[in-house]
Amino acid sequence: MPKLLQLNMWGGRLEKQIADFVKREQPDILCLQEAISYDQEDTAMFLSIENLQKFVGIEHAAIAPVFSFKLMNSTARFGNVILSRYPILKSEVIFTRLGHQDDFDFNEHDYNIRNFIHAVVSIDGQPVNIITHHGHHVHAHKNGDEETMRQVGLLVDYVKALEGPVIVTGDFNLHPKSESLDLLNKQLENLSITHKLKTTRNNLTHKKEVCDYIFVNDAVQVKKFSMPEEVVSDHQALMLEF
């Protein structure tokens, strides 16, 4: 029974906690936002995707950075990532706002660069569509706006064209019943709503909303959905067995 983990990694700040949690839970597929890819072995600052792969033994990766920045003698890439113990047959990155920014500087560039990544994973010979997205950030609330409507609409149109099992995950930066997210709620089952989550945040932030989600279509048979209690980020992890 495949197990999928959804997590906003918060830049991998809680390095040991994330690594220990993933090693214990042994998910087969990881859908990650705010993840950092970095080719140096030890940063002493954050858990890179490459080090997470080595630590828990996950071979396959599809990486969708929204921006890159210089770090020491190399370049770090920040964005959305799908890791898998199953082969990734193909992957595609779709930008919903702006495009990848090299040499990113928060003082000079718009941080609201957004994309989603679609990986087709082969599970016992069956192709399964896995998508992860970090949603547009609107200051002060999670109700969304015209821009979130536009971007979620792009994602919904993309999902409609897929065949077979579809799982969509991510930190959408949207309230469960916001008008923007409702576009996706009408297309797929929102497990965070089905299971009546009250929050997907924790004591590392003052924020208390639900903004992290796993969605599935009718071709996915849900065996178990949960939100583990461990604190590994300022967002809680979500777990799906299917």
DSSP structure string for 112-149: --EEEEEEEEEETTEEEEEEEEEPPP-TT-SS--HHHH
Global confidence as pTM: 0.97
Angle at 120 between CA 114 and CA 121, to 5 degrees: 125
The full set of domain ranges for the chain reads: 3-241
- Say if residue 43's pLDDT is above 80: no
pLDDT at 140: 85
The C-alpha torsion from 147 through 217 and 100 to 98, rounded to 10°, is: -20
Q: What whole-number distance in Å separates Cα of residue 238 and Cα of residue 202?
A: 13
In the numeric block, which tokens belong to residue 227? 């939100």
Domain spanning 3-241, CATH architecture = 4-Layer Sandwich (3.60)
Q: Edge-to-edge strands of the sheet including 60-71?
A: 60-71, 74-84, 29-37, 3-8, 238-241, 224-226
Q: DSSP letter at 214?
A: E
User: What digits encode the pLDDT tens for the residues 125-173?
Assistant: 999 999 999 999 999 899 999 999 999 999 999 999 999 999 999 999 9
